[in-house]
Amino acid sequence: MTIKVGDTLPAATLTQATAEGPKPVKTEDFFKGRTVALFAVPGAFTPTCSAKHVPGFKQLGPDLKAKGVDEIACLSVNDAFVMRAWGEDQAVGDDIIMLADGNGDFTTALGLEMDGSKFGMGKRSQRYSMIVKDGVVKELNVEQGGEFRVSAADYLLAQL
């Protein structure tokens, strides 16, 4: 079953690469007591994700925060080291937290997985964005296959 507006995010452990090494990030702790703009991509370093998705959230980050977003996070079914390297490549600094869902457990629990096998990518996340307040989904924007519109930063900003 796919997560929907009004649902509480499932408990899962994601990973963030830090200077001290991989750090587990429990979803219940990460989303607790704050408003998070979460966007997910099919893969780090992929064309649309690198040319449009991350840059849009980086550019509009101050506007999102001015509208009450406490944290912006990018999620992908990649390992934490790839997510860190991609964050460095995109120069996100502390503006966007790069979260790895290495085995896709969180993505599967959300019901937002996709099969990218025909592209040699295996199980991945669909492209989406959401506003999460204190662990509860307030907005959810899932793209149709191959599209990039409703998960964009400007679309999410307009929902705040």
The pLDDT value given to residue 158:
97
Q: Which of 53, 77, 83 is nearest to 151 (CA)?
A: 53
- 3-state SS class at 49: helix
The pLDDT value given to residue 65:
98
Which CATH topology does 13-159 take?
Glutaredoxin (3.40.30)
Mean pLDDT of 34-39: 98
Residues classed as catalytic: 49
- Domain regions of the chain by residue span: 13-159
The pLDDT value given to residue 118:
81
What DSSP assignment string belongs to 88-102? HHTT-TTSSEEEE-T
Taking the alpha carbons at both ends of the chain, their separation in whole angstroms is 26
Give tens-digit pLDDT for 91-142. Answer: 999 999 999 999 999 999 999 998 888 887 779 899 999 999 999 999 999 9
The residues, ordered by sequence, that sit 6+ positions from 134 with a Cβ below 8 Å of its Cβ are 31, 32, 33, 34, 35
| Ramachandran angles phi, psi of 37, nearest 5° | -95, 110
Tokens of 133: 């307040």
Give tens-digit pLDDT for 74-94. Answer: 999 999 999 999 999 999 999
pLDDT band of 151, cuts 50, 70, 90: very high
